[in-house]
Amino acid sequence: MDRRTFIVANWKMHKTPEEAAQTAESIITSLSSLPATADIALAPSFPALLTVAEKLKDTPFLLAAQNVHTEPQGAFTGEISAPMLKACGCQFVIVGHSERRQYSSETDSLIQKKIRASILNKIGPILCVGESDAQRNEGRTFKVLDKQVREAVKGLSVTDAEFLILAYEPIWAIGTGKTASVDQVQEVHAFLRETLADCFEKDLAKRIRILYGGSVKPSNIKELIALSDVDGALVGGASLDPETFVSLIRNGL
Ligand code: PEP
C-alpha cells in the first residue's frame, strides 16, 4: 500500500507573522522541486496563518493550524473555529498535541469533538497520541495509546476517517533530544495501525498515514521514515530554522 510521505513543521508559539512568512519563503525556494510522492505542511501560529498562506499559494506546500475549537462560532473568547481555519487556507490541523493535553487540560473526549469539527469542514486532523516516561516504564504504553486512539475516533464513519492522520509522539521524546529507537517506533506504529483496523476496517487502516514525532532531526529522519509503518514526521524544534528543516526533508525523501 503506497502512502504519501508527510512531513509537518510544528512551529508552536514561535515566529511573528513576518518571520513565519520569511521562513516559509526560504523553505519553498530551497525545495523548488518537491518529489511528487511527498506532502509538506507548515503549521505556524494563528496570527501567521494568512502571511504563510500567501507564500504557499500556487506551491505544493500545505498549511496546517495547531489547534481548533469544537464549535463553528459563538461566544468562546480567544478561540478559533474550523470554518475560520478553512477560510485561512488550512488543509490540516494538529489536534491533541501533548502540550495541549498537559497545559490546557485537553481530554480525549474534547479531542474527539475537535476531530469531528475539523472533518466536518474538510480539514484533516493530525491526531497526536503518546505515552509519558512513567507510563512507558510501567509497561502501560499500549494501553494508553489504545485509549487515546479509540476515544478520539469514536463515532467517526469510514468516510470521515479518510481525513485522519495519526502522529505518534512519545512525550518523553518531545523537545528532549531523546528519540525513540527504531524498534520502539515500528512496534508502536504497527500497533496503532492494528488499532485503526479494529476501529474501522483493514483497508482503511492501511491508507491512514501515521507520522512519528519526537526529536526528529536531519540525522535520524532517514532511518525513521524507512520503517514500514512510519509515513512521515511531525517536527518541532528542527523545523524552526529553514536550513535545518530543508536538510531534514532532503534526508527523509
Ligand atoms: C512536537 O512538538 O510535535 C515535536 C515533535 O517536537 P520536537 O521535534 O521538538 O521534539
In a domain, 247, yes or no: no
Find out whether 175 is annotated in a ligand binding site: yes
pLDDT at 31 over 80: yes
Q: Please state the pTM of the whole predicted model.
A: 0.96
In a domain, 215, yes or no: no
Output the residue whose Cα is nearest ligand 1's atom 6: 236
In which domain, by residue range, is 198 found? 5-167+190-210
With beta carbons less than 8 A apart as the criterion, state whether 117 and 156 touch: no
pLDDT at 107: 97
pLDDT at 251: 95
Mean of pLDDT values over 222-248: 97
pLDDT at 1: 60
In a domain, 253, yes or no: no
- Of 158, 156, 127, 132, the C-alpha closest to 143 is 132
Q: Distance from the CA of 237 to the center of ligand 1, in angstroms? A: 6
Cα–Cα distance, 66 to 55 (Å, whole number): 18
Output the residue whose Cα is nearest ligand 1's atom 8: 236
In a domain, 223, yes or no: no
In a domain, 55, yes or no: yes
Q: Distance from the CA of 168 to the center of ligand 1, in angstroms? A: 11
Output the average pLDDT for the chain.
96
Pocket of ligand 1 (CB under 6 A): 10, 169, 174-175, 213-216, 234-238
Confidence of residue 38 (pLDDT cuts 50, 70, 90): very high
Confidence of residue 252 (pLDDT cuts 50, 70, 90): very high
CATH of the domain at 39: 3.20.20.70
In a domain, 73, yes or no: yes
Mean of pLDDT values over 144-160: 97
Sign of the dihedral through C-alpha 197, 199, 204, 210: negative
Output the residue whose Cα is nearest ligand 1's atom 7: 236
Least confident of 6-20, 163-177, 235-249: 163-177
Q: How many domains does the chain have?
A: 1
Output the residue whose Cα is nearest ligand 1's atom 3: 236
pLDDT at 42: 98
Percent of the chain with pLDDT over 70: 100
Confidence of residue 141 (pLDDT cuts 50, 70, 90): very high
Confidence of residue 79 (pLDDT cuts 50, 70, 90): very high
Residue 238 Cα: closest atom of ligand 1 = 8
Residue 237 Cα: closest atom of ligand 1 = 9
In a domain, 41, yes or no: yes
In a domain, 229, yes or no: no
Is the ipTM value over 0.95, yes or no?
Answer: yes
Q: What angle do CA 52, 56, 51 make, to 5 degrees?
A: 20
Helix (H) or strand (E) holding 248: helix 242-252
pLDDT at 37: 81
**pLDDT tens per residue, range 95-132:** 999 999 999 999 999 999 999 999 999 999 999 999 99
Residues tagged active-site: 97, 169
Percent of the chain with pLDDT over 90: 94
Surface-to-core class of residue 223, CB atoms within 10 Å of its CB (0-12 exposed, 13-18 middle, 19+ buried): middle
24, amino acid identity: A
165, 169, 230: residue to mutate for ligand 1 pocket, most atoms within 8 A of CB: 169
pLDDT at 233: 98
